[in-house]
Amino acid sequence: MKKFKLAISPGHTPDKPGASHGNITEYGLSMAVLGDLIFRLGKRGHEAWIIGADSNSYQATKINKLNPDFGFELHFNSFHDATWNGTEVLHSGSKKGRALASALHDSIVDLLGTKGRGTPIAHYQLNKRKPLITIIKNTVCTFVVIEPLFLSNPSDFEKIDITLISVGILRGILNYWKGLE
């Protein structure tokens, strides 16, 4: 397999860690998964760079400078209606973006046993009349936002397992990359 260079970004920052469930935050959970994932990618000879903890437009600039083969940002969903659950992966609508999003979505659903919510285009609030979210609009490479599950849903919360989420993302990435060869 040809080696690739990947840009990865945790959702949110240490100061503003995003959604939470008890003491578990989006940022903390993202970093735990990404630490495991970077080890797995590095072991296989791929390059993974963490681009984090800034505004999304500044992050996009840094990612463009790095010029990776592709990239993603890892979030965990949350909603005031606690019944909402499942996995979704957002993309720009490009052919490669769709392919990367589908590969990640399917492997995460397969490993975690979450509900597949699909791979919508990354408009703000998923509203088609709104623009694409900044991190996807401003990145030149194929870039997606992964939302493996809802922190606000008790059954999804029980499914949290750092290794499984990491391996789910790893398999999705490798399947996408194989599909390009």
Q: How far is the CB of 147 from Zn ion (least distance, A)?
A: 8
Q: Name which position in 11, 86, 97, 172 contacts Zn ion (CB under 5 A).
A: 11
Structural contact between residues 32 and 48, judged by C-beta atoms closer than 8 angstroms: no
d(CA 85, CA 138): 28
Q: Which is nearer to Zn ion, 18 or 148 (CB)?
A: 18
**Nearest by Cα to 161 from 126, 111, 94:** 111
d(CA 179, CA 121): 21
| 21 sits near Zn ion (criterion: CB under 5 A) | no
| 10 sits near Zn ion (criterion: CB under 5 A) | no
Q: Name which position in 21, 46, 75, 96 contacts Zn ion (CB under 5 A).
A: 75
Structural contact between residues 25 and 17, judged by C-beta atoms closer than 8 angstroms: yes
Q: Which is nearer to Zn ion, 4 or 76 (CB)?
A: 76
d(CA 147, CA 87): 6
Q: Which is nearer to Zn ion, 26 or 156 (CB)?
A: 26
Piece in contact with Zn ion (CB under 5 A), picked from 23-31, 32-40, 95-103, 149-157: 23-31
Which structure tokens are listed for 103?
């590969």
Residue nearest to Zn ion (CB): 75
Looking up tokens 């590969």 gives 103
| 18 sits near Zn ion (criterion: CB under 5 A) | yes
Which residues form the interface with Zn ion (CB under 5 A)? 11, 18, 26, 75
